[in-house]
């Protein structure tokens, strides 16, 4: 959805049927919807070869960019027509944008290297010449201003090396590199002001323990002494700088328990002994920042097994990253977290909503800055696959769940009470939900499969041939319906 909520873009895939795929249409479609009139803009754009990522928009919303199996298709959002296609000679496996959207970084990967192409975020034209970097990319690319930081790994039979390559977006040139021994546990993380960076690595030929290196990304100078971490780091989202960049919180797991290490980025040393977390399976989205100090962080950990009563136990703690201590008491909530994106921070940053899946459906817990449960856990029908989303002023939270039909449940974000009755829509959820038009409408996509037929097909793998007819529905829900 566009940042102003006036346009929605939906990518749909063609019909495929296993071994018959070469005989069927291969064009994916991008459909643009005007949310002010709930009408389709122009004609859906057919993209040959298939989409390989999500639609990205230019800062002014006048251009849409779709990564494909051959490059990037640039679309004029005024009339939903193709402006140009950028042939990258391979699949645009991952496309990411600088914080202000001025540049788009697109990767193509082969067996020994990754090629980075930078596109102007307004026109879609390449800047400079694509750069080829040896090794295999890992984790998300990090950004600071108009510089991109890509982490790659290269291994031989006896040694492994991780390299952080710094790319200037204006001309797509390499302006610096830093090589570290070991395999990176995810991509490099950059502080908000761009003056510090952190990368966790482990030695596959040793005890498999991780080492965190803090360095200045502008010069490559290592800060302090690398910090040993007792266990591997989660590849996505578990190393976080505080808003001011003076603290770095890192989570590691040894398979039985999880530990949070808080590091002073000025010295590169831990400020306190690691905070022990219950459970070895980590579910963490982001630090929750409050007030000017911005030193509070929410962490969820989960038992890696089901208890005797057939239920999972998720423990949530609020950590003060100034001294590395837990605020209040750990909260133990029954339910299975829905993945690394199970947290949603309220717009005023006064509380966090944690979405869980239980034996009988789903649940949402609301936790305050003091580590307490604000209201009893909210029970919701259906199976949740996404966290809650908020309306513009943060007064409402909406939770989507799956079942025979899909449901949207409205929650009063201040009191934690359910508003009215859930609104049902036909079909199974397709992706995230969006709140538009100042909170007056919710948009979602659902899949409906009216026909499916399976022909048993003898083979060594025991696969059958499935023929099905499926449609995608875009649903606009009036929020006054709750």
CA dihedral over 370, 371, 372, 374, signed as positive or negative:
positive
Q: Indicate the pLDDT class of residue 304, thresholds 50, 70 and 90.
A: low
For the ranges 178-182, 276-280, 449-453, the maximum mean pLDDT occurs at: 178-182
Q: Indicate the pLDDT class of residue 335, thresholds 50, 70 and 90.
A: low
What average pLDDT does range 18-45 have in this prediction?
78
pLDDT of 426 > 60? The answer is yes
Cβ(382)–Cβ(397) below 8 Å: no
- Round to whole Å and give the CA distance between 95 and 329: 41
Residue indicated by tokens 């459909």: 31
**What SS3 state is found at 437?**
helix
CA dihedral over 324, 327, 328, 331, signed as positive or negative:
negative
Closest CA to 7 of 474, 478, 481, 479: 474
The domain that holds 64 is classified in CATH as 2.130.10.10
- Whole-number pLDDT of residue 288: 47
Number of compact structural domains in the chain: 1
What average pLDDT does range 27-51 have in this prediction?
88
- Whole-number pLDDT of residue 258: 73
What average pLDDT does range 371-382 have in this prediction?
84
Count CA within 13 A, CB hemisphere, residue 4: 9
Query: For residues 335-348, b (16+ Cβ closer than 10 Å) or e, as one string?
Result: bbbbebbbbbbbee
**What SS3 state is found at 23?**
helix
Kindly state whether residue 28 falls inside one of the protein's structural domains: yes
pLDDT of 39 > 70? The answer is yes
What average pLDDT does range 429-440 have in this prediction?
81
Phi-psi region of 37 (alpha: psi -120 to 50; beta: other; left: phi over 0): alpha
Alpha-carbon dihedral 201, 203, 208, 210, rounded to 10 degrees? -30
Q: How many CB atoms lie within 10 A of CB 122?
A: 15
- Whole-number pLDDT of residue 328: 81
Q: Indicate the pLDDT class of residue 18, thresholds 50, 70 and 90.
A: very low
The predicted-structure confidence for 86-100, as pLDDT tens digits, reads as follows 888 777 766 788 888
pLDDT of 11 > 70? The answer is yes
Range from 73-87, 183-197, 451-465 carrying the lowest mean pLDDT: 451-465
Closest CA to 366 of 389, 400, 343: 343
Structure tokens at 56: 């990205």
- Round to whole Å and give the CA distance between 190 and 73: 30
Kindly state whether residue 21 falls inside one of the protein's structural domains: yes
Closest CA to 424 of 367, 378, 389, 380: 380
Kindly state whether residue 92 falls inside one of the protein's structural domains: yes
- Round to whole Å and give the CA distance between 58 and 462: 47
What average pLDDT does range 237-265 have in this prediction?
76
Cβ(406)–Cβ(382) below 8 Å: yes
pLDDT of 168 > 80? The answer is yes
- The neighbouring-strand residues paired with 252 are 233, 259
Kindly state whether residue 432 falls inside one of the protein's structural domains: no
pLDDT of 40 > 60? The answer is yes
The boundaries of the domain holding residue 94 are 1-129
Q: What is the mean pLDDT of the chain?
A: 82
Kindly state whether residue 480 falls inside one of the protein's structural domains: no
Kindly state whether residue 279 falls inside one of the protein's structural domains: no
C-alpha separations of 214 from 77, 193, 266, 468 in Å: 42, 15, 10, 52
Q: Indicate the pLDDT class of residue 54, thresholds 50, 70 and 90.
A: confident
Transcribe 225-248 into DSSP letters. -PEEESSPBPTTT-EEE-TTSSEE
Angle (nearest 5°) at CA 415 between 413 and 417: 85
- Whole-number pLDDT of residue 415: 85
What average pLDDT does range 192-201 have in this prediction?
90
Structure tokens at 74: 């640039």
The predicted-structure confidence for 205-240, as pLDDT tens digits, reads as follows 765 567 889 999 888 889 989 988 776 555 444 577
Range from 4-8, 251-255, 290-294 carrying the lowest mean pLDDT: 290-294
Burial label for 283, CB within 10 Å (0-12, 13-18, 19+), is: buried
- Round to whole Å and give the CA distance between 46 and 38: 21
314 vs 338, residue with greater confidence? 314
**Phi, psi of 183, deg, nearest 5:** -100, 130
- Whole-number pLDDT of residue 459: 57
Kindly state whether residue 13 falls inside one of the protein's structural domains: yes
Kindly state whether residue 52 falls inside one of the protein's structural domains: yes
The predicted-structure confidence for 406-424, as pLDDT tens digits, reads as follows 899 999 988 888 999 999 9
Transcribe 271-292 into DSSP letters. SSSPEEESSSEEE---PPP-TT
Cβ(428)–Cβ(450) below 8 Å: no
Transcribe 118-183 into DSSP letters. EEETTT--B-S--EEEESEE-SPPEEETTEEEEEEEEE-SS-EEEEEEEEETTTTEEEEEEEEESE
């Amino acid at each position: 959805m566009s940042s102003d909520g006036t346009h929605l873009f939906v990518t749909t895939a063609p019909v495929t049927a296993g071994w018959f795929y070469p005989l069927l249409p291969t064009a994916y479609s991008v459909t643009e919807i005007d949310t002010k009139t709930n009408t389709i803009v122009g004609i859906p754009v057919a993209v040959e070869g298939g989409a390989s990522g999500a639609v990205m928009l230019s800062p002014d919303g006048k251009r849409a960019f779709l990564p494909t199996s051959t490059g990037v298709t640039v679309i004029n959002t005024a009339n939903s027509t193709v402006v140009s296609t950028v042939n990258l000679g391979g699949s645009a496996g991952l496309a990411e944008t600088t914080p202000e959207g001025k540049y788009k970084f697109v990767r193509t990967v082969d067996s020994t290297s990754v090629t980075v192409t930078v596109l102007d975020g307004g026109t879609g034209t390449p800047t400079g010449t694509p750069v080829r970097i040896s090794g295999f990319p890992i984790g998300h690319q990090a950004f600071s201003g108009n510089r991109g930081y890509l982490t790659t790994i290269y291994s031989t039979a006896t040694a492994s090396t991780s390299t952080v390559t710094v790319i200037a977006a204006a001309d797509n040139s390499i302006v610096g590199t830093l090589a570290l021994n070991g395999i990176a546990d995810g991509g490099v993380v950059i502080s908000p002001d761009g003056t510090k960076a952190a990368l966790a690595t482990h030695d596959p030929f040793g005890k498999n323990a991780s080492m965190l290196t803090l360095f200045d990304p502008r010069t490559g100078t290592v800060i302090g002494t690398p910090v040993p971490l007792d266990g591997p780091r989660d590849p996505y989202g578990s190393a976080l700088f505080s808003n001011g960049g003076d603290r770095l919180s890192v989570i590691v797991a040894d398979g039985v328990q999880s530990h949070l290490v808080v590091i002073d980025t000025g010295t590169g040393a831990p400020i306190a002994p690691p905070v022990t977390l219950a459970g070895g399976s980590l579910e963490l989205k982001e630090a929750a920042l409050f007030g000017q100090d911005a030193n509070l962080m929410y962490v969820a950990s989960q038992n890696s097994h089901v208890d005797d009563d057939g239920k999972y136990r998720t423990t949530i703690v609020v950590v003060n990253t100034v001294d590395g201590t837990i605020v209040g008491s750990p909260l133990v909530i029954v339910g299975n977290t829905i993945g690394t994106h199970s947290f949603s921070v309220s717009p005023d940053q006064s509380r966090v909503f944690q979405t869980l899946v239980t034996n009988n459906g789903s649940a949402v817990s609301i936790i305050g800055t003091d580590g307490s449960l604000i209201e009893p856990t909210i029970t919701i029908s259906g199976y949740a696959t996404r966290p809650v989303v908020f309306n513009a002023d943060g007064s409402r939270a909406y939770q989507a769940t799956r079942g025979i039909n899909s449901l949207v449940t409205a929650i009063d974000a201040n009191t934690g009470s359910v508003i009215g009755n859930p609104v049902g829509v036909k079909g199974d959820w397709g992706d995230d939900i969006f709140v538009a038009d100042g909170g007056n409408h919710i948009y979602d996509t659902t899949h409906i499969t009216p026909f499916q037929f399976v022909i048993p097909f003898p083979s060594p793998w025991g696969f059958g041939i499935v023929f099905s007819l499926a449609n995608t529905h875009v649903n606009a829900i009036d929020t006054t319906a709750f």
